[in-house]
Amino acid sequence: MPPCRLWCITALALVLAACDRNSGEPEAKASSPSQAPQIAGSFALDRSHSGSPLPDFTFSDTSGKQLRIASLKGKPVLINLWATWCGPCVTEMPTLEQLAANNAATIRVVTISQDGDATPVRAYFARYGFRHLEPWLDPEGRIDYHYNTGKFPTTVYYDAQGREVWRFVGARDWSDPDTPAMLLEGTLR
């Protein structure tokens, strides 16, 4: 197989797959999150945890500010677990930024990095100029183990009462035309 073709297949696999935290093999860093992920139909919404309450964890941002997740009741919240070393995570991040910008009045988008420290997260946010996402940190991976998916990105959606609506494991283009209907589920309960 020609090297160029092998590289293209490898790059496509990174975009279509989720990062496996438990594999012991860190995902290759994406060079740019400029393109929305192209997602195969193999990922689906998981509603098996519907009704579960927001977990009671407290996280810090890159400047040390605290956020207690259980206190986010009041409007729907989309929690995204990601890492700078996860190619699919950084690929979908610009679409999360746009989702947060377009829906600030109706939904809160919370990104929680699973990186070991704040340095790569701070650099990533600065490099791409995200203004609507908040860089929360979970270096111990507590919330990852709570959700127990073993894959990144993992996105979990809660209604205004703090009850889980659905979760999505794997990269997604959050500018997809199906997204508004998915988010509407959190306001109809």
- Mean of pLDDT over the chain: 82
| Inside any domain, residue 47 | yes
In a domain, 25, yes or no: no
Q: Lowest mean pLDDT of 4-8, 52-56, 135-139, 167-171, name the range.
A: 4-8
Residue 29 lies in a domain: no
Q: What is the pLDDT of residue 39?
A: 43
Per-residue confidence (pLDDT) for residue 43, from 0 to 100: 63
Q: What is the 3-state secondary structure (H, E, C) of the chain?
A: CCHHHHHHHHHHHHHHCCEEHHHCCCCCCCCCCCCCCCCCCCCCEECCCCCCECCCCEEEECCCCEEEHHHHCCCCEEEEEECCCCHHHHHHHHHHHHHHHHCCCCCEEEEEECCCCHHHHHHHHHHHCCCCCCEEECCCCHHHHHHCCCEECEEEEECCCCEEEEEEECCCCCCCCCHHHHHHCCCCC
pLDDT at 12: 41
Q: What is the pLDDT of residue 189?
A: 56
Q: Is residue 120 part of a domain?
A: yes
Into how many domains does the chain fold?
1
- Residues of the domain holding 112: 3-20+35-184
What CATH number should be reported for the domain holding residue 154?
Answer: 3.40.30.10
Which pTM was predicted? 0.79
pLDDT (0 to 100) of residue 118: 94
Does any domain span residue 28? Answer: no
